[in-house]
């Protein structure tokens, strides 16, 4: 009798614990990894933001913001209102810690979430360093959301089906690597 009671209590306890660990139904959709973490060298970040014509007070978003370097430079050097989206918990924390330590919270933030679940309709500029197939996947969402005139700067990989308004090469990033940047104006 006591044994049965113990087993029943254990099942109830485990079920309750499992329920507590379950995220809410709407948060269960798995996040698709659109690119591995591979940071853009700072010198290239600056070229991307210049190519995108980023101005003071404009809203910019970095899609898959890694350690936050694009968002931070946009806020610090270009005085833009910048937002990164990053699903990796460590990178999210690292970038938010850096934003706070630099006192940039008013102009810069990172959303800990999935690029595919965001609204970019307020953007003046987007920066993107994702894989070619991923650019293709997010293209319909951007076509739906972006206002006319939004600029998109893509690093190394194009948006198949869109033709770039400008293209720029960075011959040497200081580490012997070359980069290509594509500017699209919607
Ligand atoms: C190539 S790195 C670029 C990092 C940064 N934008 C830069 O240029 O230095 C791509 C980033 O996208 C993030 N990422 C990939 N898929 C994502 C998704 N579905 N939602 C949010 N972030 C994602 C990765 O964790 C990674 O940090």
- How far apart are the C-alpha atoms of 155 and 129, rounded to whole Å? 5
Largest distance between two CA atoms of the chain: 78
Q: 86 CA to middle of ligand 1, Å?
A: 6
In a domain? residue 127: yes
CB 91 within 8 A of CB 67: yes
pLDDT digits (tens), the chain, 186 positions? 444 444 344 434 333 443 444 444 445 678 999 999 999 999 999 999 999 999 999 999 999 999 999 999 999 999 999 999 999 999 999 999 999 999 999 999 999 999 999 999 999 999 999 999 999 999 999 999 999 999 999 999 999 999 999 999 999 999 999 999 999 999
pLDDT for residue 109:
98
Instruction: Please give the number of the atom of ligand 1 that sits closest to the Cα of 128.
Output: 6
Q: 158 CA to middle of ligand 1, Å?
A: 16
How many domains, the chain?
A: 1
Please provide the size of the chain in residues. Answer: 186
In a domain? residue 5: no
In a domain? residue 1: no
| CATH number (domain holding residue 174) | 3.40.50.150
- How far apart are the C-alpha atoms of 131 and 13, rounded to whole Å? 44
In a domain? residue 179: yes
In a domain? residue 13: no
3-state secondary structure (DSSP) of residue 48: helix
In the beta sheet, which residues pair with residue 153? Answer: 127, 183
pLDDT for residue 164:
98
Residue ranges making up the domain that contains 146: 42-185
What DSSP character marks residue 116?
A: G
In the beta sheet, which residues pair with residue 85? Answer: 63, 111
Phi, psi at 156, each rounded to 5°? 65, -30
pLDDT for residue 27:
53
CB 118 within 8 A of CB 85: yes
Q: Which of 30, 84, 86 to mutate to test the pocket of ligand 1 (most atoms within 8 A of CB)?
A: 86
């Amino acid at each position: 009798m006591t044994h049965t009671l113990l087993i029943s209590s254990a099942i109830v306890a485990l079920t309750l614990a499992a329920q507590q660990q379950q995220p809410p139904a709407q948060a269960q959709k798995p996040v698709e990894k659109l690119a591995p973490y591979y940071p853009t060298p700072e010198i290239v970040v600056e070229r991307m933001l210049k190519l995108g014509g980023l101005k003071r007070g404009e809203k910019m978003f970095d899609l898959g913001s890694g350690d936050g370097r694009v968002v931070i430079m946009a806020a610090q050097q270009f005085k833009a209102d910048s937002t990164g989206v990053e699903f990796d918990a460590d990178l999210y924390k690292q970038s938010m810690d850096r934003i706070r330590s630099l006192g940039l919270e008013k102009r810069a933030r990172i959303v800990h979430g999935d690029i595919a679940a965001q609204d970019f309709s307020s953007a003046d500029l987007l920066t993107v360093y994702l894989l070619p197939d991923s650019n293709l996947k997010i293209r319909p969402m951007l076509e739906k959301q972006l206002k006319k005139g939004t600029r998109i700067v893509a690093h190394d990989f194009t948006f198949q089906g869109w033709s770039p308004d400008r293209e720029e090469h960075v011959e040497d990033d200081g580490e012997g690597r070359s980069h290509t940047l594509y500017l699209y104006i919607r």
